[in-house]
Amino acid sequence: MALPPSPTAGVRDDDPAMSAQPIDDLSAELFQITAALRARLDWMRHGGVDGCPVPVQRPARSAQPQARSGPVADLPRSGAKAPQRPASVHPNAPVEPTWSAPSPDDPAALARAAVEQTSRMAARSQTAAPRSPVRSEAASTATTESPSGIVYPELASLPSGADGLRIIREVIGDCRRCNLCHGRNQLVFGEGHPEPWLAFIGEGPGADEDRTGLPFVGAAGDLLSKMIKAMGEHAHKLGFAELGTRLSREQVYIANVVKCRPPGNRTPEADEIAACGGFVRAQLAVLRPRVIVALGRTPTQFLLQNAAPLGRLRGQFGSWQGVPVMPTYHPAYLLRTPSAKGQVWDDLKLVILKLAELANLMPSGPSA
C-alpha cells in the first residue's frame, strides 16, 4: 500500500513556499508544539508512562520499614520459603505519592511544572561540590554520579534512618515512572536495619522478590544470607565482637538499583535505571552505611559511574559520596560459577577489615 507523502517531502530551505509562510504562523505553531511538549513532560513527571495510567490519589497509609528481628537461623535457606513477616512491618506496604498532579486543564500549573522540570534537568548537568562522608546526597539536586538519572526534589533534605526511608517509600508510591511497572506484581523497596553499618545493593528483583515484595529471597538471596552470616562469624573470629553483631541479615540493609522486576530477569535498561536510581541513592543517603557492597555489574557501574568490567573493579574499594564501595560478583553468578566464591570471600573479608578500621577497632592502613 502506498504511503501518503510526508508533509515536508520535497520541501527545501530555499523553497518559496516555505519563505511565503508568515513568521507569525510559524511562531504560533512553534508555541503550540512547545506547549504540547511541556504538557507531556509534566505528565511523565507525574508518573505518566504510555499505556500506564497516572496513579490515582488515595489517602496515604503508613509504611514504616523496620528491621526484622529473630535469630539468623530463621532466615530462608535453599529450598525453604521466606518467613512470613507481619503485614504491619512489610517494607513494601503501598503508600501513595504525597504530591498531586496539576489538572491538564490548568495551563498555569502545567507551565509551572514544565519550568520546574527544566530547572531539574539543568541541575542534573551541574557538578556537585565535593562533600564530606556525611551522606546528605539526597539534599543535593545536582549530581555527577548519575548524569542520566532523574533527580527527585521531593527527596531533598530527608531525615536519616527509618523516617527518611518512609518518605522515600511515599514518594515512590504506586510507581508508573518506567515501563517496568507493566510486568511487576510487587515493587521491592528494600529491607533491613534503618541505620546499618553495611548495605548491599543488587541489580533488581527476580521472580521470588516480585512475588514477595522483599529483596534477595530466592536462591541468590539464600546464598547472600549465608555470605552475610559467614561475615559475622569471621568478624567474631577476628575478635571484633560488636562488628560481628552488626553483620547479620537483620542488621544490614539490602536494596536494588531498580525496584521492579525486569521481564525475564534481563538487565535493567538505562532509562529504567535513570527513573529508579534516584530512589536507591536517596535510600543510601538516609541509611548512611559505613560501607556498601555492590553485587554485580549493574550496581557497581551505577554507584561508581565507571563502565569498566566488573572483573577489573571487584576486590578494591571505590567510593560513593565518600562511602567505601566494594564491588563483587552477584550471588546469582556464584550459583552458576561456584569457582568464583573464593574471590567474593576475599572481597568480603576486605569489607570486614574496612568496617573494623572505620569503627576504630583496628589501626588504619592498607588492609590485607
Q: Which residues bind ligand URA (CB under 6 A)?
A: 202-206, 209, 215-216, 220-221, 256, 332
CB of 201 vs ligand URA, minimal distance in Å: 8
158, 168 contact by CB (below 8 A): yes
Q: Which long-range contacts (CB under 8 A, 24 or more apart) does 37-40 make?
A: 38/110, 38/111, 38/113, 38/114, 38/117, 39/104, 39/110, 39/114
Least separation in angstroms between residue 154's CB and ligand URA is 25
Q: How far apart are CA 326 and CA 137, in angstroms?
A: 19
In a 3-state reduction of DSSP, which class is residue 271?
helix
Buried/exposed code over 42-59 (b: 16+ C-beta within 10 A; e: otherwise): bbbbbbbbeeeebbeeee
Q: Smaller CB distance to ligand URA: residue 204 or 289?
A: 204
Q: Read off the C-alpha cell for 271.
A: 532509562
- Give the shortest CB-219-to-ligand URA separation in angstroms: 9
Output 92 or 256, the one with its CB closest to ligand URA. Answer: 256
Identity of the residue, 170 or 209, whose beta carbon is nearer to ligand URA in the bound complex: 209
| Residue number closest to ligand URA, CB atom | 202
Quote the least distance from Cβ 50 to ligand URA, whole Å.
27
Contact 254, 202 (CB under 8 A): yes
Question: Considering beta carbons, is residue 204 or 232 the nearer one to ligand URA?
Answer: 204
Collapsing DSSP to helix, strand or coil, 283 comes out as helix
Q: At what angle do helices 23-45 and 107-124 cross, to 10 degrees?
A: 80
- From residue 366, give the alpha-carbon distance in Å to each of 143, 170, 289, 350, 359: 30, 42, 21, 10, 15
Least Å distance between CB 18 and ligand URA? 54
> CB–CB of 313/293 below 8 Å?
no
Of the pair 235, 258, the CB lying nearest ligand URA is at 258
- Secondary structure of residue 326 in the 3-state scheme: strand
Between residues 135 and 259, which has the closer beta carbon with respect to ligand URA? 259
Minimal distance, residue 308 CB to ligand URA, in Å: 20
State the nearest-atom distance from the C-beta of 45 to ligand URA, in Å.
27
Question: Which of residues 158 and 294 has its CB atom nearest to ligand URA in the complex?
Answer: 294
